[in-house]
């Protein structure tokens, strides 16, 4: 492909693995990030892994002047838009920031892409757009009823992007609804490095097994699932990154906006993940049960059939690989 692929949020967890997958495929990523929730130290690691300098621009994705300069200075063929604020709990306390970055940032980016004549966009959406699923597995045509601020900003950004493609058929957009990405690059050089106490199960298990992080509080033991704990669809971040590559290729020929579920297509309960992680790290995870959190759902997992049919993509790495790679990352320091 001629030109570079802009990865916004490319210093973050998903974006850094996407940048690596692009480089591995012989494509040229360029990262835009403001490092508000990531570390600059990821950049030399990416360059070392890629065997060449991975370029980056430090800027806020809402800064249209900085975006215009970037598109002027670099031949951009397509954009993968990972920059955003995430976290179900965080969204409830910071609605202005979440709407501004997740929706405003997407609008600013689209504005400058339109001016520059760049029409291929892969957007990081989330399974949270579905809210409480009415049936399982969750297909892309399931109702979008997010039950929190974070999910609503993702749905709004999706709506906006669909409106763009309706008004101008030149746009080609893939809306990737991630289920639960976890794990790390097998080199243990890049991985998930949450600032503060992790929100997600696997990084939390890493920290607890690493010591000094107390025990695992499991929210609810009375869900209507086989063992009473919540069930989620975990997919390896490497598989997720490869899904972005497949989406970029798909957009070479596909007009309009298309949503894709990226997940394994099956669920694991919290206790199943804990057991798999204990096997990977050879340590016991101390845990206790606490009441359910409001807004949580019992169980969800993806129907990834559309991604398989149209993107020729399927998550190939299993839960054991997720846990083994996450633990290797933790043993290497688990951060930057």
Ligand X SMILES: NC(=O)c1ccc[n+]([C@@H]2O[C@H](COP(=O)([O-])OP(=O)(O)OC[C@H]3O[C@@H](n4cnc5c(N)ncnc54)[C@H](O)[C@@H]3O)[C@@H](O)[C@H]2O)c1
Q: Which chain residues interact with ligand X by CB under 6 A? A: 9, 11-15, 33-38, 60-62, 82-86, 101, 105, 124, 126, 178, 181, 200
Nearer to ligand X, 101 or 119 (CB): 101
Smallest gap from Cβ 33 to ligand X, in A, equals 5
Nearer to ligand X, 10 or 165 (CB): 10
Is the dihedral angle over the CA atoms 71, 75, 77, 83 positive or is it negative? negative
- How many CA atoms does the CB half-sphere of 82 hold within 13 Å? 29
Q: How far apart, in whole angstroms, are the C-alpha atoms of residue 155 and residue 129?
A: 6
**Closest residue by beta carbon to ligand X:** 12
Q: Which residues contact 247 (CB under 8 A, 6 or more apart)?
A: 122, 174, 176, 260, 311
Smallest gap from Cβ 74 to ligand X, in A, equals 16
Q: In whole angstroms, how large is the CA radius of gyration of the chain? A: 19
150 is catalytic: yes
**What is the number of other CB atoms lying within 10 angstroms of the CB of residue 40?**
12
Which candidate, 149, 185, 148, 177, places its Cα nearest to that of 161?
177
Nearer to ligand X, 128 or 269 (CB): 128
From 150, 178, 234, 300, the catalytic residue: 150
Nearer to ligand X, 112 or 166 (CB): 112
Using CA atoms in the order 207, 197, 129, 316, what is the torsion angle rounded to 10 degrees?
-20
Smallest gap from Cβ 36 to ligand X, in A, equals 4
Smallest gap from Cβ 196 to ligand X, in A, equals 12
Nearer to ligand X, 223 or 234 (CB): 234
- Give the end-to-end CA distance of the chain in Å, rounded to a whole number: 32
- Cα angle 203, 174, 109; round to 5: 85
Q: How far apart, in whole angstroms, are the C-alpha atoms of residue 230 and residue 213?
A: 22
Q: Which residue has the tokens 């409106």?
A: 163
Smallest gap from Cβ 34 to ligand X, in A, equals 4
Q: Which residues are catalytic?
A: 150
């Amino acid at each position: 492909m001629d030109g570079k692929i802009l990865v916004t949020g490319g210093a973050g967890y998903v974006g850094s693995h996407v940048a690596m997958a692009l480089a591995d495929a012989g494509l040229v990523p360029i990262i835009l990030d403001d490092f508000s929730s990531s570390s600059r130290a990821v950049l030399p690691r990416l360059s070392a892994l890629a065997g060449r300098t991975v370029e980056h621009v430090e800027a806020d994705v809402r800064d249209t002047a900085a975006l215009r300069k970037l598109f002027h200075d670099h031949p951009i063929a397509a954009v993968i838009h990972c920059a955003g604020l995430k976290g179900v709990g965080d969204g409830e306390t910071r609605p202005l920031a979440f709407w501004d970055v997740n929706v405003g940032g997407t609008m600013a980016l689209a504005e400058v892409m339109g001016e520059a004549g760049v029409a291929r966009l892969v957007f990081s959406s989330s399974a949270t757009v579905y809210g409480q699923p009415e049936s399982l597995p969750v297909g892309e045509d399931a109702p979008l009823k997010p039950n929190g601020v974070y999910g609503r900003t993702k749905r709004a950004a999706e709506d906006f992007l669909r409106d763009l493609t309706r008004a101008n058929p030149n746009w080609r957009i893939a809306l990737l609804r991630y289920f639960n990405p976890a794990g790390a690059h097998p080199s243990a050089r890049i991985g998930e490095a949450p600032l503060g106490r992790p929100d997600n199960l696997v990084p939390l298990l890493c920290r607890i097994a690493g010591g000094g992080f107390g025990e695992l509080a499991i929210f609810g033991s009375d869900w209507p699932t086989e063992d009473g704990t919540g069930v989620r669809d975990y997919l390896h971040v490497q598989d997720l990154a490869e899904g972005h590559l497949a989406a970029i290729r798909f957009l070479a020929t596909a007009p309009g906006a298309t949503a894709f579920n990226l997940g394994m297509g099956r669920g694991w309960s919290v206790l199943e993940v804990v057991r798999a992680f204990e096997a990977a790290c050879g340590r016991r995870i101390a845990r206790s049960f606490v009441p359910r959190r409001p807004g949580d759902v019992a169980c969800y997992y993806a129907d990834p059939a559309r991604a398989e049919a149209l993107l020729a993509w399927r998550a190939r790495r299993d839960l054991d690989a997720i846990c083994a790679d996450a633990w290797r990352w933790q043993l290497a320091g688990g951060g930057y």
